[in-house]
Structure 1
Amino acid sequence: MRISSGRRITPILGAELDKFRTLPLIRLTLTVTFILNIALTAAFTSVSLQETTGTQNTLNTGLASMGYLQAGFIILGILATCSEYTGGQIRTTLTAMPWRGVQISAKMLALAMITIPAAFIMAASGVLYAFIMLGDTALMTEIGTVIQTLAGATGYLTLTALLSAAVGAILRRTTPAVVVLLGYYFIVSPLTRDWLPGYLPDKAGYYMYTPPSVDAGNILTPMEGTGVAMLWTLSLMAAAILLYRRRDA
């Protein structure tokens, strides 16, 4: 008897969510990332208060830590797909869930369901902290702009986690995946800042939460940045699913 994909994915999605809920490294990564984000936001806010006079942009200050915050979501995505290869748990998973394409798709969906609220809370908490600490010097921003910016930051962090999960599924080992992705985001990308500006995943993602500005010389609009970042993520996810279905565990 053939079972439809819709009937398969519901219990598999529940199982993947249970894995993430009970995996200590997932909880530890989210907790440490949240704490470090608040600490970095506090540092950037303090520097902003000491070095700048007049009104200050709350969004810029509250999201100044995004370049570092993304590291936590990179690690989160890698752990989501690589953790089961440690000790060979992946064989048990594939024995219980032989539909590989459905299983890894459910894992990605479960990761997104966890990442979206976590990313929003972290981005919003940074902006809220900056708004409180800047006090009277905070530049008043329209609520629509705040919502758009937070939505862009949440989307970027979520896409970063999914892209990292895809790379983890391709490499199947935590350490190589961490080295490759952190090496790209924190070493290669800054060194190639002027090459293909706006068309690599992190550079396109920057414009997802940066409102267009003539003075800033923005290359992409938030929607264009979202499209480019999504294209990178979906392409790597498709490659990960294809390899996952064809390779041995």
Structure 2
Amino acid sequence: MSTASELPAIRLRDIVSAEVSKILTHPTTLVALALAAAANTLFAAVAASEVVRFGAGDDLAPLSAFALVMFAPVYAFLLIPVSATGSEYHGGQFRITLAAVPDRGRLACGKFLAMTAVVIPVAAAVLAPGRVVIGLSDGLSTGAVALDLGRWVLAYTAMSVIAFGLAAVLRSTVAPLAVFVVVAVFAGGGFVQWPEGVRFLPDQASMSLLGTPAFEVTEIAPATAALTLAVWALASLAAYALSLMRRDA
């Protein structure tokens, strides 16, 4: 009779496959996709038409001029990565997962790969209609539209990785989104008078990466923005790995 130590290790691709199925069948995923797709498409249609303008007096501008609004649907999309990890801490699901995959390093790698395998294509699907509408209204070429879509998918993916790690650290699906929204409100509302630091927050860096900074004082070069997001993502993944390997032992 084979002992537990003699049983073959669970393959990484099996873990990834199981986690992908878990994410895709989670009720929150469908809600997040519907909300993010509807908001992105609606905002893009309003921005492209320029029929509706916002502001006061003579300072009216199309919706596309308000980067904070155009980027806001990302917070609905982030329901996907936070649910991929944070939801397991409710009702003992995490203990069941560990019983099935006791190798925590392999589990952490599999969960991250599954999350990114889902996030990247669904982000493209959610964003594509809106970016095409805006690209056509601006007279962009097919290549330019594809490049613009790629930047948006990159920003959504980076934000998803950061949210994924934060959800594991906080062991919650609500707390990470609350942190993102509160930070966005305080930064966007001018409550934090420190533009040199605010510009390096994930959402602000994402908007700079897209070429639509929230404010002139928080703008950074796209290359710097990409590096900033990479640092945030790596730090988030490191915190995720440490919490899984140490705290949750």
TM-score bracket for this pair, using the shorter chain length? 0.7 to 0.9
Query: Retained in 2: the 8 A contact 1:73–1:160?
Result: no
Bigger mean CA offset, 168-177 vs 65-74 = 65-74
Which ranges in structure 1 are unaligned for 5 or more consecutive residues?
Answer: 53-57, 133-137
The residue aligned with 1:10 is 13
Q: Number of paired residues?
A: 234
Does the aligned pair in 1 maintain the 2:167–2:173 contact within 8 Å? Answer: yes
For normalisation by structure 2, the TM-score amounts to 0.80
Q: What is residue 196 of structure 1 aligned with on the other side?
A: 197
Residue aligning to 2:35? 32
Letter in 1 for 2:145: V
Judge conservation of contact 1:204–1:225 (CA < 8 Å) in 2. Answer: yes
**Cα offset, 1:131, TM superposition:** 5.0
SS in 2 for 1:210: coil
The C-alpha deviation readout for 1:148-175, integer Å capped at 9, x for no partner, is 2211110000111111010000000223
Counterpart CA distance in 1 for 2:198 and 2:92 is 41
For 2:153, give the aligned amino acid.
T
| 1:159–1:229 contact (8 Å) kept in structure 2 | yes
Larger mean CA deviation between 154-163 and 30-39 belongs to 30-39
Partner amino acid, structure 2, of 1:31: A
Shift of residue 8, structure 1, vs aligned partner: 3.1
Q: How does 1:100-249 map to 2 (within 5 A)?
A: 100-130=104-134, 138-188=137-187, 190-191=189-190, 192=192, 194-210=195-211, 219-248=219-248
Q: Which residue of 2 aligns with 1:21?
A: 24
CA displacement at 1:67 relative to structure 2: 1.9
Shift in Å, 1:197: 5.0
Runs of 4+ in 1 over 6 A off after TM superposition: 1-5
TM-fit CA distance, 1:65: 4.9
Give, in whole Å, the separation in 1 of the partners of 2:52 and 2:180: 34
Name the CA distance, whole Å, in 2 between partners of 1:229 and 1:2.
Answer: 42
TM-score, normalisation: structure 1:
0.80
Deviates more, 1:172-181 or 1:155-164: 172-181
Tell me if structure 2 keeps the 8 A contact 1:150–1:209: no
Alpha-carbon displacement from aligned partner over 1:18-64 (angstroms, at most 9, x marks no partner): 11122121122112221222223333344x23559xxxxx9x57x88
